[in-house]
Amino acid sequence: MNEIPTTYFLFLAAFLFSIGLAIVISKKNIILILMGIELMLNAGNINLVVFSRSDTSMIQGQLLALFVLIIAAIEASIALALVVLIYKHFNTLELDELNKYKN
Amino acid sequence: MNLSNHTIFIIATLNLVLPLISFFILIFFAKKIARKGDWLGTAFLGINVLLSVILLLDLKFSSITNQQFLFPMDWFSLGSNSFRISFLINNISILMLIMVNTISFLVHLYSIEYMKGKRNYERYFPYLGIFTFAMIGIVLSNNLLLTFMFWELVGFSSYLLIGFWFDKEAAVKASKKAFLFNRIGDIGFLLALLIIYINFHSFEIEEIKKGFSLSFQNHALPLWISLAGLGFFAACVGKSAQFPLQIWLPDAMEGPTPVSALIHAATMVAAGVYLMIKVNFLLSPEVKIFIAFTGATTAFIGAVPALFQNDIKKVLAYSTISQLGYMVMGIGFESYLPSFFHLITHAFFKACLFLSVGAIIHAMHHIKHDLFLSGDYYDFDAQDMRYMGGFYKKMPIAFIAFIFSSFALIGIPLFSGALSKEILLETSLQWAQANAKNGAIFFYMIPILAYSTLLITTVYMFRQIFLIFFNKFRLAEIDPKAENIFNKLKENHWLINIPLLLLTLFSSFIVYSYNPLDASKGWLLQWIGNGQLATHFSIIPLLLIVSGVLIALYRKKALLNNLEYFKIHKNSNTPNFIKSIRNDWNMDALYYHTLVKSGFTVSHWISKIDSRILDRLINFIAVVNVIFAHLLHWIDRYIIDGILNLIIRVTKLTGYIARSIQSGKLQNYIVFLFAFIALIFIIIYYSSEA
Amino acid sequence: MILLFYLFSFFIVASSGAILFVKNIVHCAFLLMITMLSISGIFILAGADFLAIAQIMIYIGGILILILFGIMLTQRNNINQVPISNFRTSITSILIIGLVFTMLITIIFKLDSESLINQRQELIASSSISQIGFLLMTQNLIAFELIGILLMVALMGAAMIAAQFQDKPIHANSSHE
């Protein structure tokens, strides 16, 4: 566990973040966008955890990552509730269509 | 007497300007002045005569021999060249001045009576005034350019005067012809002026003389001098009716008789000879030979048609041509002073001839008018000699005037013409002898022509005397009613007679010298020459004159037969070749068929080509214009509109891009967010890197 | 250990990349599950054992179920078809992704890797869960309590939202403002 250099994790986190961003930008379904957001949050979590390894005695990073996790869960639940509501209203989940109902 | 320079200048200027003032006043106000202003013009001319006599006396009795006055004034300057004009007042010009002024004054006097009641009377005296002004200008001007201007003005005034009765078609044609032939000569004048100016850089005769003698004093003369001389001679040929431009002079008899007296006897035709005398130093020997031949030819071919004319004035016109030929011939012999002398004497006796003939014509018009009034209108030409006759009883003064002046013309001793003609004939013989030394026999043609002209002159003048004054009044034999009117003819008015008498006086020898046979000791030749012209009395002219008279008498019988024929048939039975000679050797027809017709065809042809080419050119230009317009249209539509469209599209695109930032789509916002973050990062990173 | 890392990271990369290109939503959800599992593996490798288990429990056991429920509830019509993103968006996304990735890579390269050496060598061997619990109760107590409140609020909120289309009166417990 000690031999894996930090930068490898960081690369991975960066990659994961970029892919999450790509999904957010280019997908039309809201649920998929939610998945992308989750991926981005997880990338941040990896970063936090990895940097907590350099912390001398504290695991502040992991703690924070825990909090982030919990909050991600909260947010995902609320979002999905809203998604269901939206679906009931507009009968579609595509962003472009939803855009037209702006007013 | 010795007048100051200033006075002389004033007198000369007045002399020049008074006729011009008369012209201006009479042109504008003639209708309002009493008698239409004829006395005004005459008075001005009278003053002119007095002034010129004063000048003559001053110059003649001055202490300096061959004094001459120049009054140079700066006229204008072009850049560094300044043109000066100056008066030329020396013995020759003074004599000419007196001649011009006297004859003009006498013509004015005469015209008051002659032109009385004729139409357009108020225009007559102004025209005479401007003519006299132009002629005096030619006489007094030292500057060749100024002479040219006056030359042209003289031509123009003669146009006005010849065509005075402008409703007569013949008069209009004659005046145009006179003007045109003068113009042809003036081309030569212009060329000569150009050559002179280029080489001597001055138009003044005195300066040119100095320059000439500096450069060419004993050297052979270059070609351009000959060309200049020929140019001036061309002007002389045009103005003085030499061969081949002499045909305008007979036709110019359409003008009133006093006008013919002034213009064609005395002044205008003499201007050519005067010019030659002024520029005589420019003439090279070849040119002089040419001049002599031309003069002799003119003298001959002018005299011959006069034998066959039936119109009074035409006889005199042809005789003018012939005498001018004599003068020009004299110039060819380098005997300038005899030519000039003949010019002066010719002026007076020819004017006298014309004026006396005018009296006859005046009487004939009167007869015609009376015949018309009495209800018997018989249309005859009042100037046709075949209707005349027996006037010597009715108009003795005119008869005496005519006799004297025609004797002077023929060259009978005791009259003025003899004095000058003698010298010329002598000189011709000497000249021919001098030039024929190398066996060129043809030089003898000139004296032959000159002497034979003398014979012919005698014959036609005596014929004319007989036809007009002797025999019976032939019109009365054709139409009896005219007899009464003829018998009632009175002597002429004094306004006609006084000029006639004066001119008769000047036609005799007294005025010029005390010796009736030899003028070289007379005051005139002494004054203008240096007394070097010694003539000896030669018997040949006298013989010729006597033989001429005998021929005329011999032909009298044939003449009477012709007149009988004429009375019955009212036309002559002259053979055709004589008819053609009478028509001035048919030169009119010759000119017409060669020059005029070819001119017409060439111009017609050119106008056709021109119109076609012009038409095509215009069409072409129109087509080019249309094509150009289409091109512009294309450019306008595609290029300009294209640029416009391009700008529009770019703007739209920019707007679209700018608008799309605010699309309202979440994902776009996220894109922009991260794009800007990356951008900022790059900026910061690379700036910190550097 | 490196091999495990490579394995897990391969799974992550592959599955998350596949989410981009797969057309079926349900497949995407399952790919997300695989990604989560691999991430928890990475957590273990990074020494966060408790966090890994928590991740599995929360994400896979909670969020993914929720996503699947959401998918199933809302994709009546086109459950097998996910609309493809159009070309322009793909280009933009690739550009942005490239940019962002490069940015992050640059940062990573700039890091002074010697100072990031793992210093907690002795604590790695022991489990972290006691450490986390200790910290939660002492140092980050307020955060812990607040998280609890937040969870409760979220629960109530979600219930309220979901109850809106059921035509039933809201539960008396929740007094949502």
User: What is the tens place of the pLDDT at every residue in B307-350?
Assistant: 888 888 888 888 888 888 888 888 888 878 888 888 888 888 88
Q: A93 or B236: which carries more pLDDT confidence? A: B236
Averaged pLDDT for residues B576-597: 72
pLDDT value of residue B330: 85
1-40 in C: which are within 8 Å (CB) of A?
1-2, 5, 9, 12-13, 16-17, 19-20, 25, 28-29, 32, 35-36, 39
Identify all chain C residues contacting B671, using CB atoms and an 8 Å cutoff. 92-93, 96
Instruction: Please check whether residue B665 touches A, CB under 8 A.
Output: yes
Q: How confident is the model at residue B685 (pLDDT cuts 50, 70, 90)?
A: confident
Half-sphere exposure at residue A75, Cβ-oriented, CA atoms within 13 angstroms: 12
Distance CA C164, CA A88 (A): 10
Question: Cβ–Cβ contacts within 10 Å for residue B143, how many?
Answer: 23
Q: What fold does the segment set A6-100 form as a domain?
A: Helix Hairpins (1.10.287)
Averaged pLDDT for residues C91-101: 77
Q: Decide if pLDDT at B99 tops 60.
A: yes
Give the number of beta-carbon pairs within 8 Å between A and C: 240
pLDDT value of residue A36: 92
In tens, the pLDDT along B460-490 reads 888 888 888 877 777 666 666 667 777 777 7
In tens, the pLDDT along B552-586 reads 777 777 777 777 767 666 666 666 667 777 776 77
Identify all chain C residues contacting B682, using CB atoms and an 8 Å cutoff. 103
Q: Considering CB atoms only, which of C51, C96, C119 is closest to A62?
A: C51
94-153 in C: which are within 8 Å (CB) of A?
94, 96-97, 100-101, 104-105, 108, 111, 113, 115-121, 123-124, 128, 131-132, 135-136, 140, 143, 147, 150-151
Q: What fold does the segment set C1-82 form as a domain?
A: Four Helix Bundle (Hemerythrin (Met), subunit A) (1.20.120)
Highest mean pLDDT among A96-100, B424-428, B624-628, B661-665: B624-628
Give the number of beta-carbon pairs within 8 Å between B and C: 20
Averaged pLDDT for residues B232-253: 84
Distance CA B575, CA A91 (A): 136
Q: What is the longest distance spanned by two Cα atoms in chain A? A: 56
Phi (first) and psi of residue C24, to 5 degrees:
-90, 130
Averaged pLDDT for residues B351-361: 87
Q: B551 or B633: which carries more pLDDT confidence? A: B633
Identify all chain B residues contacting A96, using CB atoms and an 8 Å cutoff. 665
Q: Decide if pLDDT at B683 tops 50.
A: yes
Read off the pTM: 0.62
Distance CA B525, CA B540 (A): 23
Q: Decide if pLDDT at B228 tops 90.
A: no
Cβ A21–B666 below 8 Å, yes or no? no
Residue of A nearest to B670 (CA): A25
Highest mean pLDDT among B302-311, B559-568, B663-672: B302-311
Q: Specify the range with the lowest mean pLDDT, choosing from B55-64, B163-172, B346-355, C57-66.
A: B55-64
% of residues, chain B, pLDDT over 90: 2
Q: Please report the ipTM that was assigned to this predicted complex.
A: 0.88
From B451, B144, B83, B425, select the one nearest B274 (Cα to Cα). Answer: B144
Q: Which amino acid is at C88?
A: R
Cβ C99–B685 below 8 Å, yes or no? no
Contacts of B15 (CB under 8 A, 6+ apart): B48, B51, B52, B55, B97, B101, B136, B140
Q: Which chains touch C (3 or more CB pairs under 8 A)?
A: A, B
Contacts of B284 (CB under 8 A, 6+ apart): B221, B225, B226, B229
Averaged pLDDT for residues B68-78: 69
pLDDT value of residue C176: 47
Mean pLDDT of chain B: 80
Residue of A nearest to B671 (CA): A25
Q: B633 or C76: which carries more pLDDT confidence? A: B633
Q: What is the longest distance spanned by two Cα atoms in chain B? A: 145
Averaged pLDDT for residues A27-50: 90
Identify all chain A residues contacting C147, using CB atoms and an 8 Å cutoff. 67, 70-71
Identify all chain A residues contacting C62, using CB atoms and an 8 Å cutoff. 73, 76-77
pLDDT value of residue C123: 52
Instruction: Please check whether residue B618 touches C, CB under 8 A.
Output: no
Contacts of A67 (CB under 8 A, 6+ apart): C143, C147
